[in-house]
Amino acid sequence: MDERFVDLRSKKNSKARIKMLSGHFATKNSHVNTYIDMSTVKSRHNNARETARTLAAEYQMNTTVDTIVCLKNMEVIGTFMAEELADATNVSMSSGNNISVVTPETDSAGQLFFRESSQRMIEGKNILILTDSMATGTLVFQAVQSILYYGGVVCGISAVFSSISKVAGMEVKTIFTSADIPDYHVYPTHECPMCKAGERLDGIINSFGYAKL
């Protein structure tokens, strides 16, 4: 791990922690000046469980969840969230539910879709969308549209980090916001001031991490 990474722990739960690296990075839809590493909360079961508990707390008392749609390799946290929400020993509107955890696929045109085997877990169900981070919300908006197409009802949107507060008119429930990372900036690719200043890209970001250039 690059020694320049800086730890950021959540005030809500210290085991929900991310790492940050300043630089010039390209995502699919934008350029950002900070790479946010989610490997700890995505991959280490204890940190993933605690992150899931923190996110699930937003929905226990007020939302019935039938299915969690996971984006960007969030299945581990999604499974722990399902377990927390469905736990019969908790005071939860989803207590006792057999919550499904599914992931959409992407076709050659970049559209999200669900196979026949998982469509039954979408149609007529209350769907919680879960992602790792949001800079523009483009992917989550696509997920909302796909879920509506297959007859599902979007009952919530969760992210570990989000720089935006709403997607498709719905509030994003998150652990970290741009207030926790005040120097975090997102730019449309063609308007990136770092590019205009001649700064080379440090890396390309996707859901698996970043690749140095």
- 53 in any annotated domain: yes
110 domain-assigned: yes
Domain assignment of residue 137, yes or no: yes
Query: Is 201 inside any structural domain?
Result: no
- Give me the CATH number covering residue 81: 3.40.50.2020
In a domain, 203, yes or no: no
Predicted confidence band of residue 66 (pLDDT cuts 50, 70, 90) = very high
83 belongs to a structural domain: yes
Chain segment 93-122, per-residue pLDDT in tens: 999 999 999 999 999 888 999 999 999 999
Rg (CA), the chain: 17
- Residue 60: both structure tokens together: 């226990």
In a domain, 152, yes or no: yes
Phi and psi at 11, nearest 5°, equal -70, -20
Joined tokens for residue 33: 């000046």
pLDDT digit string (tens) for 189-209? 999 999 999 999 999 998 888
The count of structural domains within the chain is 1
Please give the pLDDT value at position 189. 92
Mean pLDDT, all residues of the chain: 94
For residue 110, the model assigns a pLDDT of: 87
Name the residue range of residue 57's domain.
Answer: 38-180
Report which of residues 119 and 11 the model is more confident about. 119
Residue 209 lies in a domain: no
Residue 38's alpha-carbon distances to 18, 78, 88, 110, 132, in angstroms, are 6, 14, 30, 24, 7
For the stretch 25-37, pLDDT in tens is 999 889 999 999 9
